[in-house]
Amino acid sequence: ACSSKYVLSQMHPMWQGPLAVPGGDRQSPIDIVVRKSVFDSELKPLVTEYNPETCQQIWNNGYSFLVEYDDTTDKSTLKGGPLQDKFRLCQFHFHWGESNAWGSEHTVDRRLFPAELHLVHWNSDKYSLFEEAVMEDNGLAVIGVFLKVGKRHEGLQKLVDALPAIRHKDSVVEFTRFDPACLLPVNIDDYWTYHGSLTTPPLTESVTWIVMKQHIEVSHDQLAVFRSLLFTSAEEDVQKSMVNNFRVQQPLCGRTIRSSFS
Ligand SMILES: NS(=O)(=O)c1ccc(S(=O)(=O)NCc2cccs2)s1
Ligand SMILES: [Zn+2]
């Protein structure tokens, strides 16, 4: 539906359906067909400068859980790679399945991963607020990292231990001194990049996606704690497990996916 002319309810509970956006021809997520990606030697290495002191809170927004950073100054930033400007980290979150067989939003040659991390940044050279940047063409940059089930991720455990306190939608707890760099793979020089959108409402087509080729490993038990979260708030009488919070894949619509590696 590259030029769909309709949009279903933006409050579609699970956005699982073919939630289309008027004229949406650069929607996310997509399948990354490796042999169709184009090596671009002009792509630079990514430069992340994250300051753990800007970490503020962790909360359940009813779609995922988010770790939010103070983005009132350029303290935690991303530049380089495909980016012309400096981008400020505002939050990171994950998408995962009810089983280890699926859960990621992007796929690589149709391969699904059990989960996917998104580090969300906005263009602080051009805009003064995230809310502005989210509506603009080159407003956002999101780093995607695939998760595989294997050995325990020591850096992730601090975050896993905070999850029981935010089981219900709209619960929030203070969360400080967390360095998101510990969640990046060893090699961040190899990535795919393409122009796409947010994968949840408002679905705006303002994202430069940077999807890492190398995954990180987390343990089965760590991922099980993600699944203990709930979509529903404490007041609701029917509680629903927060699982399968990924969007269905969207048409490429002729877009080119570039790779930083040959
Ligand atoms: N999956 S994604 O990175 O394309 C984003 C979608 C919406 C985002 S948001 O920054 O507007 N926050 C709201 C959020 C909703 C769900 C998780 S976060 S980020
Ligand atoms: Zn996401």
Any atom of ligand 1 within 6 Å of the Cβ of 104:
no
Any atom of ligand 1 within 6 Å of the Cβ of 27:
no
For residue range 87-133, what is the model confidence (pLDDT) as tens digits?
Answer: 999 999 999 999 999 999 999 999 999 999 999 999 999 999 999 99
Any atom of ligand 1 within 6 Å of the Cβ of 118:
yes
Q: Per-residue pLDDT averaged across 6-31, rounded? A: 63
Q: What is the mean pLDDT of the chain?
A: 93
Q: Which residues contact 18 (CB under 8 A, 6 or more apart)?
A: 1, 8, 248
Q: Per-residue pLDDT averaged across 241-260, rounded? A: 97
User: 7 pLDDT band (50/70/90 cuts)?
Assistant: very low
Q: Where are the beta strands (DSSP E) in the chain?
A: 31-32, 38-39, 46-49, 55-60, 65-69, 77-80, 87-96, 107-108, 115-123, 140-149, 172-174, 191-196, 207-212, 216-218, 258-259
Q: With a cut of 70, say whether residue 208 has pLDDT above it.
A: yes
Instruction: State the burial class of residue 157 (Cβ atoms within 10 Å of its Cβ: 0-12, 13-18, 19+).
Output: middle
> Length of the chain in residues, anyone?
262
Q: With a cut of 80, say whether residue 20 has pLDDT above it.
A: no
Q: Above 0.90 for ipTM, yes or no? A: yes
For residue range 81-92, what is the model confidence (pLDDT) as tens digits?
Answer: 999 999 999 999
Q: Which residues pair with 122 in a beta bridge?
A: 88, 140
Q: Which of 27, 65, 120 to mutate to test the pocket of ligand 1 (most atoms within 8 A of CB)?
A: 120
Q: Can you give the pLDDT at residue 3?
A: 45
As a whole number of Å, the end-to-end CA separation of the chain is: 31
Q: With a cut of 80, say whether residue 219 has pLDDT above it.
A: yes
CA distances, 120 to each of 16, 68, 161 (Å): 21, 10, 22
Any atom of ligand 1 within 6 Å of the Cβ of 247:
no
